Structure 1
């Protein structure tokens, strides 16, 4: 029985500390932050648990081999030498992804192809037969990462990216990535301690991730499959035990989570997704224009949202963000409001001073995640700024 081994969880820029905390809270050992990744140590059961429960991991990789490479021939020979029989049957299937940060190797598709050739040639020479290539549902997904002249070969335990939670069948224009949504909510400090509002909820991703955080529901409980389920050493009983023990830690939640959107199509999609995530009892989705709303009660309110901005959806930036600022200031006292934007002009037009600015990327767009504290009564607010 294999004991503990090192793994790597990949994440977005700036999310490394959040992911490291998630890993420690789950019980990972030797947690170390890197660049868009966190390494950690655990056993096979922990590998299953990390895939099931982590909210801010894109993929969990299991290192398989590492070596120096100076040419494509080096790569081919080194890959061919590895003991692929331990992880892949001759009648199985494989896919290869490559990431390169090297002056020697510059074409990731070619490196993927060369790796695949080396693996199948090994089988062909040994058995006179070879595994197939299956890019969608392979038995084994191999990850090649070349940094200058060092090549890391890893096995992708996740399969599809972990943002594919399994609850979102309907999406709107420019939906927010589930991992980005979860990271924003965790970064904002929300753990289910008060009411929550997403005033521009689109297809409902932020309220859904917020409810899963509040109730401690495993992030990927609705997912159909993980990469490791096709591995030779897949242990279904162990996975079911891990799943059952994770579900025992689910908590109750006694506040309101609400999502507003003014588009009827978005509201329908959000309601469908909330239902798919089995969270209907915790989340209310309403068709309203945020600019015509006010805070419903005097309890503290936590707000996280992803407003439209130029590159994503066309709006008049100056006018739209002034309205956001005015609505918050006039109608939402006692609110902590966070939103993400890639527009410098947007920040200027809000008319409030953010108490925090966090750099993040939304897709390829460099963005800022902004925090605005809206205090009870404007005088008190001015004194505290």
Structure 2
């Protein structure tokens, strides 16, 4: 539930990491009174929702076990009331809300890849994730996985084609973002992306594709 939980925390103006403890709190230079003041200021700036307000963010997974995990994580993150989780097949998932009067909705999809859907190439050299530091360090001869030009399996291609048809039929007015290492994904979906953002997911080179959906077809480029 990482994507939806972090989106919910942003919507509620919950400071990142405000519900956890950090290792630096054990360091000698640590000033507890300063840190406590910063945390109180962050909590005071949070958006407080009334109990009768409906969820504004929705998440789903085909594995109901993962849905249970996500619900627990959302509760620990303080946003359980902001999110509605459901299980089910993405090809049968209908829009959770009517966006015709709100100016549209946003979907984010991070489909399986890497070990489960093999990436297409390995590039030697270049920056590499630097462990827990959260940055990158330059080390030669460290493999990184490049965005793939080769098609995926026929089964995966058929799934994305069906998903695009489902979106066009049921998700008019929505914007869909798909994170994938497959450069050929828009062709598989028979959709024309309106944005293509290069980014890395750990060591895997990906693209974040944006698709603007209108009834039965794609919207023109902005």
Q: Which bracket does the TM-score occupy, shorter chain normalised?
A: 0.7 to 0.9
Partner residue, 1:62: none
- Corresponding residue for 2:44? 248
Is the alpha carbon distance of 1:258 and 1:353 closer, same or farther for their aligned partners in structure 2, counting shifts above 3 Å? same
1:139 corresponding residue in structure 2: none
**3-state SS of paired residue (1:258):** strand
1:337 alignment counterpart:
176
Partner residue in 2 for 1:220: 17
Partner Cα separation in structure 2 for residue 231 and residue 275 of structure 1? 29
| Contact 1:318/1:345 (8 A) holds in 2 | no
Displacement after TM superposition at 1:287 (Å)? 0.9
Counterpart residue number, 2:216: 378
Q: What do residues 205-239 of structure 1 show as CA deviations (whole Å, max 9, x unaligned)? A: 11100101111101101222232x23322110110
Q: How does 1:79-94 map to 2 (within 5 A)?
A: none
Q: 1:334 to 1:321 in 2, by over 3 A?
A: same
CA distance in 2, matches of 1:292, 1:308: 18
CA RMSD of aligned residues (A): 1.9
Where relative contact order (Cα < 8 A, 6+ residues apart) is larger, the structure is 2
What TM-score do the two structures reach when normalised by structure 1?
A: 0.43
Q: Report the CA distance shift for 1:297/1:259 in structure 2 as closer, same or farther (over 3 A).
A: closer
- Aligned residue for 1:275, secondary structure, equals helix
**Residues 318-342 of structure 1, C-alpha deviations (whole Å, 9 max, x = no match):** 1122122112111111101111000
Structure-2-length-normalised TM-score: 0.73
- Does the alignment pair 1:313 with 2:152? no
> Do structure 1's residue 292 and structure 2's residue 130 form an aligned pair?
no
Unaligned runs of 5+ in 2: 118-152
> Which structure: greater helix fraction?
1
Q: CA deviation at 1:304?
A: 1.4
The aligned counterpart of 2:78 is 278
Distance in 1 between the 2:184 and 2:211 partners?
16
Partners in 1 of 2:76 and 2:7 — Cα distance? Answer: 15
Q: What SS does the aligned partner of 2:91 have?
A: helix
Distance in 1 separating the partners of 2:186 and 2:78 = 36
Question: Paired residue for 2:59?
Answer: 259
Residue-pair matches, total: 177
Quote the residue 1:118 is aligned against. Answer: none
Sort the Cα spacing of 1:297 and 1:265 in 2 relative to 1 into closer, same or farther, 3 A: closer
Alpha-carbon offset, residue 246 of structure 1: 1.1
Q: Do the aligned residues in 1 keep the contact of 2:58 with 2:96 (CA within 8 Å)?
A: no
Secondary structure at the aligned position of 1:237 is classed as helix
Deviations 1:184-217 (A, max 9, x none): xxxxxxxxxxxxxxxxxxxx11110010111110
Structure-1 separation of matches of 2:87 and 2:208 = 25
SS in 1 for 2:184: helix
Which residue number in structure 1 is paired with residue 195 of structure 2? 356
The structure with the largest alpha-carbon Rg is 1
